[in-house]
Amino acid sequence: MKTVTFEVFRYDPDKDKEAYYDTFQVELRRPGYLLLDALNQIKWELDPTFTYRRSCREGVCGSDGINVNGVNMLSCMTKVEDLGSDHLVIQPLPGMNVMRDLVTDVDDFFNKFITVKPYIIRKSPNPDKEIYQSPEDRKLLDGLYECILCGCCSSSCPSFWADKKYLGPNAFLRAWRYIVDSRDEGAEERLPILNDKHGVWRCHTIYNCVEACPKELNPTDAIVKIRKMLLDQQI
Ligand code: SF4
Ligand code: SF4
Ligand code: FES
């Protein structure tokens, strides 16, 4: 049975003065063995104090973003064999404060998400029945609505690391998802927020966020479209 070395970031604020790395030998027990299977093997068989987030195991909840050999990914969507290495360095998502081991504080990430008003805003009087959306208008949401809020994009973004107030690629993708929604009437509320000095103009269009997204979404494309809308409207 093949064995892979996992060099894992460890930090428990209740007992560690500083972070360190622990090394575990993990057995790949079947073809398609997932990173999450490997983390479970460490916790359940080698060190029960090891801490990380996971829930759905299906690429839906977005809770298990981690950094492996310098690349952000979901542990439940990644086969160890696909990483092509016998030595994996496992770290929490960069640019986020570590609470313990691989668990990061996601408050800042979610606060930025909320800042762009990620919900349908209506100005018109409420209709008597549901608001019709044509198949063509619904199609505009493809590539936007699938975001699972894993944070892999924002956590890979140099602007997000450098500017603590930068809203980040996830917030921009979310804002665009609602701006293009035919039922939404909130663009004029969102655009000034996106036009802020910590908004879309801070992006250097280097596409880290696109490469990091496990759902193959394109936050940079959303950023470019928001910029164009801002320029067209001279906001
Ligand atoms: S393209 Fe923009 S938002 Fe995406 S990682 Fe680069 S700087 Fe950040
Ligand atoms: S855009 Fe992609 S990487 Fe970013 S939070 Fe959504 S699913 Fe995760
Ligand atoms: S455990 Fe839910 S997305 Fe991976």
> Closest ligand to 156 CA?
1
Chain centroid to CA 192:
24
Residue 155 identity:
S
Q: Of 19, 174, 41, nearest to 104 (Cα)?
A: 19
Pocket test for ligand 1, best of 207, 210, 218 (most atoms within 8 A of CB): 207
Residue 103: phi, psi to the nearest 5? -90, 120
Provide the residue count of the chain.
Answer: 235
* Domain-wise residue ranges, the chain: 3-104, 107-233
* Cβ neighbours, 10 Å, residue 203: 24
Residue 62 in this model has a pLDDT that exceeds 90: yes
Across the chain, what does the average pLDDT equal? 97
Ligand 3 neighbourhood includes 55 CB (under 6 angstroms): yes
Q: Of 159, 160, 156, 193, nearest to 176 (Cα)?
A: 193
What pLDDT is stored for residue 78 in this prediction?
A: 98
Ligand 2 neighbourhood includes 106 CB (under 6 angstroms): no
Ligand 2 neighbourhood includes 149 CB (under 6 angstroms): yes
- Counting from 1 in the atom list of ligand 1, the atom nearest the Cα of 212 is 5
Cβ contact 105:173 at 8 Å: no
Cβ contact 26:7 at 8 Å: no
Ligand 2 neighbourhood includes 152 CB (under 6 angstroms): yes
What pLDDT is stored for residue 127 in this prediction?
A: 87
Residue 235 in this model has a pLDDT that exceeds 80: no
Q: Of 38, 47, 109, 44, nearest to 68 (Cα)?
A: 38
Q: Of 10, 16, 39, 44, nearest to 26 (Cα)?
A: 39
Cβ contact 62:148 at 8 Å: yes
Per residue in 138-181, pLDDT (tens digit) is: 999 999 999 999 999 999 999 999 999 999 999 999 999 999 99
**Strands 87-91 vs 103-104: parallel, antiparallel or unpaired:** unpaired
Evaluate whether ipTM surpasses 0.90: yes
Distance from the alpha carbon of residue 227 to the mean position of ligand 3, in angstroms: 32
Task: Indicate the SS3 state at residue 73.
Answer: strand
The domains spanning 3-104 and 107-233 adopt the same CATH topology: no
Q: If one looks up domain 107-233 in CATH, what number appears?
A: 1.10.1060.10
User: Per CATH, which fold does 3-104 belong to?
Assistant: Ubiquitin-like (UB roll) (3.10.20)
Ligand 3 neighbourhood includes 118 CB (under 6 angstroms): no
Pocket test for ligand 3, best of 35, 39, 60 (most atoms within 8 A of CB): 60
Ligand 1 neighbourhood includes 228 CB (under 6 angstroms): no
